[in-house]
Amino acid sequence: MKLKEKVAIVTGGTSGIGEASAILFAAEGAKVVVAGRNQENGRAVVQHIKDQGGEAVFVQADMLNTDDIDKLLNTTIEAYGKIDILFNNAGISVAKPLEEMTYEEFDDVMDTNLKAPFQMCKQAMPYLMKTKGTILNTSSIAGLSTNSNSYAYSASKSALISLTKVLARDYAAKGVRVNAICPGITETPILNTVNGEQMSYLEAIIPMQRVGQPIEIAKPALFLVSDDASYITGSTLVVDGGITLV
Ligand SMILES: NC(=O)c1ccc[n+]([C@@H]2O[C@H](COP(=O)([O-])OP(=O)(O)OC[C@H]3O[C@@H](n4cnc5c(N)ncnc54)[C@H](OP(=O)(O)O)[C@@H]3O)[C@@H](O)[C@H]2O)c1
């Protein structure tokens, strides 16, 4: 088991990539704190982990609410006494033409995808320094190149890569590794606004000719948070079926 005795927080653990990662991390021995707003989904993920013989708790937390971020970290320490792995994975996407995109929508995307991970990193860092732990941030291929109409999303995901690198540099000597993962187009509810025709187009342009599955992001995420990646910090792992080559 790659994460035996480790304590992992997975934000956005209620769905998609986070759900697959929470289940995989638990199967590898981690005690997982599954965070998100959707209580029904969160409880179902925890039950799934327990049914597999793993250990997990759900903390209902809105990443836009500072009190909820405090609650998430406090509950983790109360339940398990330490933090080894922080997976900042919660995220939202709003893609609208410039003239339709509101300032509120822009702020919501930036606050969820960038400010909340910053707050989580800042508040978890004292605990991570104690355990020589690790942070993984979910960026996106949209943070490396562009998607049309993806004003806030691309900006937030690019900035998250920068945040990852600065943290990696500043905390390497203190024993904390910080990396980012950039999923390509992955079959999760975040793609609900993509219609069948758009999906066929996307599948045709991806060199591997298909979208990714959440488990195909969770497995490289496991690598980055495990000791197998003990000499990797400040890196950005692209997991995209080759679409950034096009
Ligand atoms: N799927 C893709 O094609 C793709 C590609 C590149 C990057 N990504 C990134 O991968 C990450 C996971 O997305 P996904 O594809 O797995 O989509 P998803 O299934 O929609 O999951 C998004 C997760 O984020 C959580 N979340 C969103 N806003 C939140 C908030 N205010 N507070 C707390 N949790 C919040 C959701 O939880 P609740 O609803 O329970 O709050 C949910 O668990 C995101 O950062 C996304 O940008 C996805």
Which pLDDT score is estimated for 228? 98
End-to-end CA distance of the chain: 37
- For the segment(s) 7-238, the CATH number from 3.40.50.300, 3.40.50.80, 3.40.30.10, 3.40.50.720 is 3.40.50.720
Assign 146 a pLDDT band (cuts: 50, 70, 90). Answer: confident
Choice from 37, 58, 243, 244 to test ligand 1 binding pocket (greatest atom count within 8 A of CB): 37
Which pLDDT score is estimated for 195? 87
- Percent of the chain exceeding pLDDT 90 equals 94
- The CA-based angle 14-58-76, given to 5 degrees, is 125
Which pLDDT score is estimated for 57? 98
Is there a catalytic annotation at residue 153? yes
Overall average pLDDT of the 13-24 stretch: 98
Torsion over CA: 9, 14, 16, 19 (sign): positive
Which ligand 1 atom is nearest residue 217's CA? Answer: 10
> What's the rounded Cα separation, in Å, for the pair 124 and 177?
13
Q: Measured in angstroms, how far is the CA atom of residue 113 from the centroid of ligand 1?
A: 9
pLDDT tens sequence across 74-107: 999 999 999 999 999 999 999 999 999 999 999 9
More confident residue, 103 or 202: 103
Q: Are 223 and 25 in contact (CB under 8 A)?
A: no
* 88: Cα separation from own chain's centroid: 4
- Is the per-residue pLDDT at 198 higher than 90? no
Mapping DSSP onto H, E and C, the string for 210-246 reads CCECHHHHHHHHHHHHCHHHCCCCCCEEEECCCHHHC
Spans of all domains in the chain: 7-238
Report which protein residue has its CA nearest ligand 1's atom 23.
12
Report which protein residue has its CA nearest ligand 1's atom 43.
12
- Is the per-residue pLDDT at 53 higher than 90? yes
